[in-house]
Structure 1
Amino acid sequence: MSFAPGIEHDEKNGDALSFGALRRDLRLTVEQELASTILSCTHEAVIITDASGSIISANAAFSRITGYSADDIRNQNMRVLQSGMHPKSFYEAMWNCLKANDCWHGEIWNRKKNGDIYPALLTINAVRSESGELTHYVGSSADLTPIKSSQRELERRAQHDDLTGLPNRRLLTSRLDQALARANAKQSTGAVIFVGLDRFKLVNDSLGHSAGDEVLIRAAERLSSFVRTSDMVARFGGDEFGLLCEGTPRSTLGDLVSRILDQLCQPYFLSGGRQVWLGASAGISLFPDDGRDAASLIQYADAALYHAKCAGKGTYRFFSTRLTEAANTRLSADLQLRQALAREEFILHYQPLVSMPGGKVTGLEALVRWKTANGKVVPPGDFIPAAEETGLIVPLGEWVLRTACRDMKELLAGGADLKTMAVNVSAQQLHHAGFVDTLQSILKEFDLNPSVVELEITEGTLMGQGKAPVAILHALKALGLRLAIDDFGTGYSSLAYLQKLPIDKLKIDRSFVSDLESGGAAQAIAAAIIGLGRSLRLEVLAEGVENRFQLDFLVNNGCREAQGYYFGLPIPKEALPALGGIKWRREATSTRRADPRPAAPYSKQEG
């Protein structure tokens, strides 16, 4: 018996089978097994139906998600999964799309075996034979429940205050826009009420931020108890809250606000048996009388609150278009600051920037002071806000830059071993037309190497401003300047945004450094910022170092630069030569040298 090459012979049936056919059959078997393995391992639910929609099989993920076993679902129609959440037209459109395109993809609500309804991302594909006849449908779906939950939580956090759980400014503004539309349509009225706690800063300063947080939570609860379900209470930040009251006539607002203030004046019982008393003030703007847009009404309520506080606190004021005491105060501040600039009453003090662990002073940060005509030294916290409000921060900032560069040039010429002069730059300066040109002119004026000048820009200045800050920073970097993000960790900058910035240094905000001894979140955040800087190849400096514990923690976690009262107070230029002998002070092994501490008061916000 002989066979042609490449042919096997089935003696029983007399059939000749080609090796090629056997290989094809084997390949199909392997592919089917592979497909079966993939279906059993995938996290997506997969079902296969016949042309009529009767389910033939389902994978393990389908059973896990829906609760139906393969036996439960076999021969059932896909309608068993319908949730009842969609109208008949939804399914008609789905099947029309399938008929036209052999595919449908979209979000759908399905029902599990236990009756629970869940969101799914579903794809249905039609399967046809070689002749084009419809034979099957294959549906694959992913359970969107975790994603939807995350989205809801993100939306909630974007619109609510983390501490109190109240809506935030963003959500109240959105609700106010809607309320204004309703008021316009119905010719009705409403009010925006700003409430601020009086003496709240004293609680934070004397009892700590945890006590302050407790007070804010209690105040939020008291405010919420006064409003109707149709109204809204929001926390705007700090110790300020906003209330939106629709349809409330002016005649009853005074009584409502008085009762709110009385309630907020009641004692606050805190953990540990502590008890504190605070006052509260309020400002009110009315719509449509005072304004027809949310931004104006919020601004006017804030102005009225300021007026109430100026009137002695513990009271409320309605917004008035008349020139208020607040406006007079702002005008007075504007005049005084302009006169101070003209009389050259501003001075600079310098705080050392210290490398660790060596303790060498490698740079200085320029800090502005106002030395009035009577010799009083005013700390920046008392005049910088007014300078920003009046716009005088721009010429003042230019004076600081010019003076710091002049002093740095003189120090370097005198042999000082310094590599950095750090200068704070405000948001108004950064966005002011001609800022880059001004800097270039100052550098040229003093023939100063740009690499020794480090501009410090707060994280908040860069956020929510689109692409403009990035472009400005690149222009500054092109001059050869160094750039640092100040108060890092207090804003909301993302890693993706951070990578776009041509920065050299991150400065850990002093609030995290001051809380290092309490452990927990502050230590984790500080260590994370140091690690982030290392990953992005950025220098990291810690602000506000005041004791050895903080210093050791930072050094042990890889921080290589710091500033703060532990190393020295800000000092005038005349005392700078003393910095040449400063060493890293070790409390246990060496005697500290006395710091040249000035007699004038200084803001603890610095360093």
Structure 2
Amino acid sequence: MSGADLTRILVIEDNPGDARLLREMFNEKPSDRSLSQVGTAREAEAHLAAHGVDVILLDLGLPDAQGLDALRRVRSAAPRVPLVVLTGFDDEALAALALKEGAQDYLIKGEIDAKSLLRALRYAIERNAMEEALFTEKERALVSLKSIGEGVVCTDTQGNITFLNLVAETMTGWPLPQAAGRPLHEVLPILDASTRQPLLTHFQLPTDPSVLPRLGILVRRDGLEMPIEGSAAVIHDRMGHPAGAVVVFRDVTTARAMSQEMARAAQHDFLTQLPNRGLLTERITQALAIAARHESRVAVLFLDLDGFKHINDSLGHSTGDRVLQSVAIRLDGCVRDTDTVSRQGGDEFVVLLSDISSAEAAAISATRMLRVIAAAHSIDGTDLHITTSIGISVYPEDGQDAETLIKNADTAMYQAKENGRQGYQFFTPTMNVRAVERQFIAEGLRRAIAKDELSLHYQPVIDVRTGEITGAEALTRWTHPARGPIAPDDFIPIAEDSGLIIPIGRWVMREACSEAQRWTDAGLGPITIAVNVSAMEFQDHGFLTGVLGILADTGLDPRRLVIELTESVLMRRVEATAEVLQSLRERGVRVAVDDFGTGYSSLSYLRKFPVDALKIDQSFIRQITTEGRDTTLVTAVIHMARSLKLRVIAEGVENVDELAFLKEHLCDGAQGYLFSRPIPGPQFMALLAASSVHPVQPAVTLTLGRVRGAESMHATADGLPPAVVLDRDQTGFADVATDLPSATAVATSRQHADRSG
């Protein structure tokens, strides 16, 4: 502030002569200013309470306050207003005390003139403004240091403590008043994290941040230790000279624990806390190196739980997770401390048996695992039973590295499942051939979907009483571009295992509905078209909307579509299944239980689900004509279905005796080689056209011929139309021209393969 800005001056002077002299000095250089004068400390306090001033000129000898007491009273009344002391004594000691108490300057009466007086007041104001700015900056810095989440310690040039923020006080256990002046290494004792040697013992001003290790161990005042991370730097004064040092540090206990936990999580399964595949691979590699030196063996066991998906589907994933945790605990109890139990994901586990003497030791461990896993698992008070299949590979015979041993054990596990499950199987080289075959088929199926290599064949469903074709079952066929026809039994299970059954199922549904609509457009019908739906397809979240969309796109009447599901599919996730089936029923789609008698065969679920028909599995139809036949089950199924107002269709009917039995017991429909094998769409249309003139009946003799379409069909000796016989160009079979028994024999030998899919 310049002299021209001294607009409000308060003079505290009780001597009238001195007061008049001061006024004359101010008037020597006229300016826009106001001058107020009081004679006592009390008057000054009252004036300062009522008016603002820019600067105070104070005489230390007042009637009601003398010396520093007068100064303190005025400073208390206006602590932030610059003040210049006026005294009649040239007392440097008093002047120094006045400056320490907050005065900006002091003047001696009789030694001042107007110019020096105004200059002193102006300097006082400017100096006060600078101090205010520095104070504000210092306060801001102090607040920042106190509020940050890291510990801050400051020292002087000798390494003695001058400042600790609140975080540093808490972490070290030293309050600032007790720490001030002490050596840094006493308040902040840090040990090297690797050597545990004390650091900062002879602390000197750091020339670079590396003087303090990035990681160390802080020993608190109470003796507790904590890992810290920190750095140090030099504090410089305004002239650039070193004035001290600052050390910043933070507690990394939580960060270190989190880092360790993240490292563990990266190597362990989150559900069971078992090592994951990555850690397992490391341990197998280590075990193989030791085994190579000691000439010992290493075994890898690959376990897959049998039927675990049913637990997830019926009881929920939460229960399934509890079962997996129970299995993990039991497996861990079956092995030594030097072995490893790992979860690969889903319901698959891999066990490493390191340093074993022989393959028999692996077999003993596998037998023990089969037994303990098969024991009841108590989950929320309910006993659940589950089994496992185990594949075993042994080093060095079955592989020289972790990846090969795991792969071969996995291959052996699939063989164990095919052998009946709940058992173990050692790997053999021939299994690789089968594994390669599975991979070939899986890859071929992916291409088959894209390149239109799939086709549908149709097998008619016959009304037992009238011989009319009432429906057809759509069956998937695949012709490989190099291998030719591949049997459904060879590719359908692989499609289900790989998940390809879902896109294949959608294609089958659309193609079958389109074909059925073409029959209707050609005036052949109306008949139903039945499509088999696997568990994976049915449980897919887009199944219902997909079926309804296909019906809308193809224009097929929903009442002509029959969804065929097995009993096991129905019993998975019962509530959700019933909801989907009810939605289909409300739109007219029919539901049939396929292969009835081979699953749950429970009346309760037949009452629970909106089912329209039962299809008796062909294995029960075989019993009708075998020696010592037992037809009780077939009879019971027919009568039960009729009592529930369900249609009954017999599958795999191959001779007239079976047909006669079904007629006698009022079975509704039948399908099988006695009437027709599955045939492509064009031949089926020809069969439909012929059956519209003559109902399909079983022939007494089959006439030699190469039948191609309805125009090639002709009557037999008894006047009935024959069963359709296709030549080798269409089916790969030799021509047949025999009596019924021999024709039936041919049909029987191929029945199972053509019913698949």
TM range, smaller chain? 0.5 to 0.7
Match for residue 372 of structure 2?
263
Match for residue 78 of structure 1?
184
Cα distance in 1, alignment partners of residues 545 and 431 from structure 2: 47
Match for residue 137 of structure 2?
31
Cα distance in 2, alignment partners of residues 301 and 309 from structure 1: 13
Q: 1:62 to 1:187 in 2, by over 3 A?
A: farther
Cα distance in 2, alignment partners of residues 58 and 335 from structure 1: 69
What is the CA distance between 1:262 and its match in structure 2?
Answer: 1.7
Match for residue 596 of structure 1?
589
Asked if the contact 1:569/1:595 (under 8 Å) is kept, the reply is no
Q: 1:86 to 1:143 in 2, by over 3 A?
A: same
- Among candidates 476, 480, 485, match of residue 371 of structure 1: 476
Cα deviations across residues 466-512 of structure 1 (Å, max 9, x unaligned)? xxxxxxxxxxxxxxxxxxxxxxxxxxxxxxxxxxxxxxxxxxx999x
- Among candidates 141, 165, 173, match of residue 273 of structure 2: 165
What is the CA distance between 1:91 and its match in structure 2?
Answer: 4.3
Asked if the contact 1:306/1:326 (under 8 Å) is kept, the reply is no
- Among candidates 301, 309, 327, match of residue 409 of structure 2: 301
What is the CA distance between 1:122 and its match in structure 2?
Answer: 1.1
Asked if the contact 2:205/2:244 (under 8 Å) is kept, the reply is no
Asked if the contact 1:121/1:141 (under 8 Å) is kept, the reply is yes
1:56 aligns with 2:165: no
Match for residue 680 of structure 2?
none
Cα deviations across residues 210-240 of structure 1 (Å, max 9, x unaligned)? 3322322221111111222222111112221
1:115 aligns with 2:108: no
Matched residue SS, 2:214? strand
Cα deviations across residues 292-335 of structure 1 (Å, max 9, x unaligned)? 33222221221121122222222222222234584386279569
Q: 1:211 to 1:388 in 2, by over 3 A?
A: closer
Asked if the contact 1:50/1:56 (under 8 Å) is kept, the reply is yes
- Among candidates 134, 147, 157, match of residue 41 of structure 1: 147
Q: 1:223 to 1:39 in 2, by over 3 A?
A: same
Cα deviations across residues 262-307 of structure 1 (Å, max 9, x unaligned)? 22222222223x2233322212223344333322222122112112
What is the CA distance between 1:21 and its match in structure 2?
Answer: 3.4
Matched residue SS, 1:172? helix
1:22 aligns with 2:156: no
1:217 aligns with 2:325: yes
Q: 1:90 to 1:61 in 2, by over 3 A?
A: closer
What is the CA distance between 1:48 and its match in structure 2?
Answer: 1.0
Letter in 1 for 2:227: P
Higher RCO, 1 vs 2 (CA within 8 Å, ≥6 residues apart): 1
Cα distance in 2, alignment partners of residues 384 and 97 from structure 1: 73
Match for residue 306 of structure 2?
198
Asked if the contact 1:307/1:326 (under 8 Å) is kept, the reply is no
Asked if the contact 1:55/1:73 (under 8 Å) is kept, the reply is yes
1:240 aligns with 2:348: yes
Matched residue SS, 1:176? helix
1:68 aligns with 2:178: no
What is the CA distance between 1:574 and its match in structure 2?
Answer: 7.2
Asked if the contact 1:346/1:370 (under 8 Å) is kept, the reply is yes
Match for residue 140 of structure 1?
248
CA radius of gyration, larger in: 2
Matched residue SS, 1:263? helix
What is the CA distance between 1:336 and its match in structure 2?
Answer: 9.2
Letter in 1 for 2:251: D
Cα distance in 1, alignment partners of residues 488 and 173 from structure 2: 74
What is the CA distance between 1:569 and its match in structure 2?
Answer: 5.4
Match for residue 552 of structure 1?
none
Cα distance in 1, alignment partners of residues 593 and 507 from structure 2: 20
What is the CA distance between 1:116 and its match in structure 2?
Answer: 3.2
1:128 aligns with 2:236: yes
Q: 1:99 to 1:203 in 2, by over 3 A?
A: same
Asked if the contact 1:377/1:601 (under 8 Å) is kept, the reply is no
Letter in 2 for 1:82: I
What is the CA distance between 1:39 and its match in structure 2?
Answer: 1.6
The alignment's C-alpha RMSD in Å is 5.1
Q: 1:565 to 1:265 in 2, by over 3 A?
A: same
1:285 aligns with 2:393: yes
Cα distance in 1, alignment partners of residues 593 and 488 from structure 2: 6
Cα deviations across residues 411-441 of structure 1 (Å, max 9, x unaligned)? xxxxxxxxxxxxxxxxxxxxxxxxxxxxxxx
Report which stretch shifted further, 106-115 or 240-249.
Answer: 106-115
Cα deviations across residues 228-253 of structure 1 (Å, max 9, x unaligned)? 22221111122211112221222422
Write out aligned runs for 1:434-583 (5 A): 544=541, 565=544, 571=550, 575-576=554-555
Cα distance in 1, alignment partners of residues 322 and 210 from structure 2: 60
Asked if the contact 2:454/2:477 (under 8 Å) is kept, the reply is no
Asked if the contact 2:296/2:357 (under 8 Å) is kept, the reply is no
What is the CA distance between 1:568 and its match in structure 2?
Answer: 6.0
